[in-house]
Amino acid sequence: MSFSHVIYKFVISDLQLMITLNPDDLTTKDLQRTLQFAIGPRPIALVSSINRKGDINLSPFSFFNIFSTNPPILIFSPSRRGRDASTKHTLDNVMSIPEVVIHSVSQSMVYQTSLSSTEYDAETNEFLKAGFESIPSLSVRPPRIKNAPIAMECKVNEVKALGNGPGAGNLVICEIKKIHVHEEVLDDDGKLDQDKLSLVGRLGGDWYVHAAGDALFEVEKPIANKGIGIDVLPKAIRNSTILSGNNLGQLGNIEILPEENDVISFSQHHRIESIFNETSDAMERRELIHIYAKELLELGKVKKAWKALLVDGLNTIKEKNN
């Protein structure tokens, strides 16, 4: 897709060329592609539903997320088809039988899930087509997948149409009534293990992402502590050409800086001593310290990174006093 015919503004900032798009100037197909590439990874809801004749449907939707814990509300959106604005079987089903089961999708079932998105006729059971074993639900009429890592039985509280044209969404607001969790995805304490869940998410085009192994990382929430913020970092750190915005965010998320005695003690670290022995040029030394601090930050060692950076400040002060 080329944006050459829809660009109406160029913005040059910090040597980066940006384009500004007006959604009204894009075709529905091009706009959807842009949004699906830009917004992700998106969790996948593999939704089972049923119509009044008893025909069962199973279909995945990546316009999906959790929106409330109390009450427990999930929302997914079966959009109208881009080619003719027709509705999908899942939407037709929930309008007549407002009940669904929403399954989380793991890597072990991603190809079956993709197969279930094929546009079969309303009478075709995608459980059979995709090779999923179904079992009865406890509180809703649609069945659930036996071996799904998580299955959530839901009542549909409301369906909110966002439009009638091609690509228009329909918010299916679901209240969870039962949650079934496969024992294989629990840790030793009986809680969900993020790595064991091995969830997949949708990106643009045919791309997916696998949320497991090295793809997982933790970022401490600034809830218990109040970070000092990037704006109060020393100018030499804030304007560093070595440290990234993420690195500055790590530094700004600390509540209390290391004590001066700890910094003085850290200045005896072999890597710091090596830097000071290597060069007497203050700017070059600062750059080497920032490189070392960045290495520490990439390893999650924020306090050590702060000590390294503050060593530079201490020695600058010493030099001024001398």
For residue range 90-100, what is the model confidence (pLDDT) as tens digits?
Answer: 999 999 999 99
Q: Rounded to the nearest 5°, which phi and psi values hold at 110?
A: -65, -40
The reply to whether 53 and 89 lie within a common domain is yes
In a domain, 17, yes or no: no
Q: In which domain, by residue range, is 162 found?
A: 39-215
Distance, in Å, from the CA atom of 21 to the CA atom of 240, rounded to the nearest integer, reads: 32
The mean pLDDT of 66-80, rounded to a whole number, is 97
In a domain, 297, yes or no: yes
In a domain, 251, yes or no: yes
The answer to whether residue 321 scores a pLDDT higher than 70 is no
Encoding tokens for residue 87?
């509705």
In a domain, 257, yes or no: yes
The reply to whether 95 and 199 lie within a common domain is yes
- What's the alpha-carbon Rg for the chain, to the nearest Å? 27
Which helix (H) or strand (E) segment holds residue 49: the answer is: strand 45-50
The answer to whether residue 35 scores a pLDDT higher than 90 is yes
Return the pLDDT at 14.
52
Domain CATH for 119: 2.30.110.10
- Final residue of a structural domain among 192, 215, 238: 215
The reply to whether 45 and 154 lie within a common domain is yes
Distance, in Å, from the CA atom of 193 to the CA atom of 185, rounded to the nearest integer, reads: 6
In a domain, 26, yes or no: no
Return the pLDDT at 251.
94
The mean pLDDT of 268-276, rounded to a whole number, is 91
The reply to whether 67 and 205 lie within a common domain is yes
List, in sequence order, every residue forming a beta bridge with 172; answer none if it has no partner. 76, 159
Confidence of residue 315 (pLDDT cuts 50, 70, 90): very low
Q: What is the DSSP letter of 84?
A: T
The reply to whether 46 and 144 lie within a common domain is yes
Domain count for the chain, please give it: 2
Q: Which of 13-27, 181-195, 227-241 has the highest mean pLDDT?
A: 181-195
